[in-house]
Amino acid sequence: MPELVTIERRVKEAVSGLIYGGRTEEISKEHSLVEDLGFDSLDIVRLELEIEDQFGITIADKEMERLVTVDHIIGYVIENMPEDPWQEVQG
């Protein structure tokens, strides 16, 4: 499994990629996607798809509703990532 620092960086990059003009260093783990970063429902869906693609996991819609901060997403990825993420990608 990738290191926590790598997972955190990749999640922040996915989040910042959806914010026009956003930079990774401006994103805190405590930021709320909606309240602090201004995500709308389309942004949430895009982020869900990006996280699923990057980490080889599936996030149920009901689960995504509970992932309200950047830190929640990081925690979810850590808990649900396959032991060998490349195994999922290579098939």
Q: Which of 36, 40, 61, 71 is catalytic?
A: 40
Cα–Cα separations (whole angstroms), residue 4 to 27, 46, 78 = 16, 23, 8
- Supply angle C-alpha 85, 48, 78, rounded to 5: 40
Among this protein's residues, is 84 annotated catalytic? no
Catalytic residue numbers read 40
